[in-house]
Amino acid sequence: MPELPEIEVVGRLISEATTSWRVRSSRVPAANTLKSFDPPLDSLNGRAIQGITRRGKHLLIAFEGDLYALLHLMSAGRLQIYPKRAAPRDRTSRLLLELEDGRELRLREFGTRQLAWVRILHGRYLERDEALATLGPEAWPDPPPFGELLNHPRWLNSVLRDQSVIAGIGRSWADEILHAARLSPFKRGKDLTEVQAAELREATVAILGRAIDHYLQVLSIPIPDKLPMPLQVHRRLGSPCPRCAEALHAVHFEDYEMCYCPQCQTGGKILKDRRLSRLLK
């Protein structure tokens, strides 16, 4: 589940490894991964990579001549660089950019669904791209004050993950951030006090920054398929809370669970969980 810290570090590492190298050939083995048709994919051939940056949960590869590849890895995508004569491409391959030295930049996607996507864009259309134009301010390193930003009737776990409100946070880091700020995931954005809004902003910057530092220490090329996410709360149902040692609880949704500490976040209250109440019947 790559989110802001994972995308940031993968982008930096691959940028360092590929900048100024030219693309020899480009392919999209899964044709529906490419969500644009003009300029065509092969217009990247012969162009040097100028760098890779992150926008929210997107990666942006800049090529000489003002061309860009905008990538979204969705929940199961990976961007990796393979050495010359590396293991053969497999069914996870979505976009393949062979570099002039024989290495290959691969967008891969695990699982059965094809959700990761790529668009090739001219620089002049970049800011108008629907994915980028709708992004809220970056959650890290310096987001605007949260009081106004999160002033929303929806609950915090949902508002923090809304990319048009604030860009970069998903399910994993939302759990970690709300735990660090000692706030209930079901508190409404508009009910934050000034102090809580300030503390939540501080927790967001600190937690994401710490995760980035962690990855910079433990990751290098080749980037592993499974990133060592330093999570303490998310997907830790039943584990002791890292702050108070009480057992962490969770609320289950159709395809994910939201973890929290009742002691630290909800004033001791156990939130209603449909799955749990069904099991207890």
Judged by the rule CB under 5 A, the positions of this chain that interact with Zn ion are: 241, 243-244, 261, 263-264
The DSSP letter of residue 166 is S
With CB atoms as reference, the residue minimizing the distance to Zn ion is 241
In the complex, the smallest distance separating the C-beta of residue 103 from Zn ion, rounded to whole angstroms, is 46
In the complex, the smallest distance separating the C-beta of residue 85 from Zn ion, rounded to whole angstroms, is 50
C-alpha 23/C-alpha 20 separation (Å) is 10
C-alpha 90/C-alpha 112 separation (Å) is 13
C-alpha 224/C-alpha 104 separation (Å) is 15
In the complex, the smallest distance separating the C-beta of residue 267 from Zn ion, rounded to whole angstroms, is 11
C-alpha 267/C-alpha 173 separation (Å) is 21
Which CB atom, from 150 or from 259, has the smaller least distance to Zn ion? 259
* 275 Rama sector, left if φ>0, alpha if ψ -120 to 50, beta otherwise: alpha
Is the backbone peptide bond immediately before 39 cis, with ω within 30 degrees of 0? yes
Which CB atom, from 218 or from 244, has the smaller least distance to Zn ion? 244
Which CB atom, from 152 or from 243, has the smaller least distance to Zn ion? 243
Which CB atom, from 99 or from 241, has the smaller least distance to Zn ion? 241
In the complex, the smallest distance separating the C-beta of residue 211 from Zn ion, rounded to whole angstroms, is 20
Tokens of 43: 């217009």
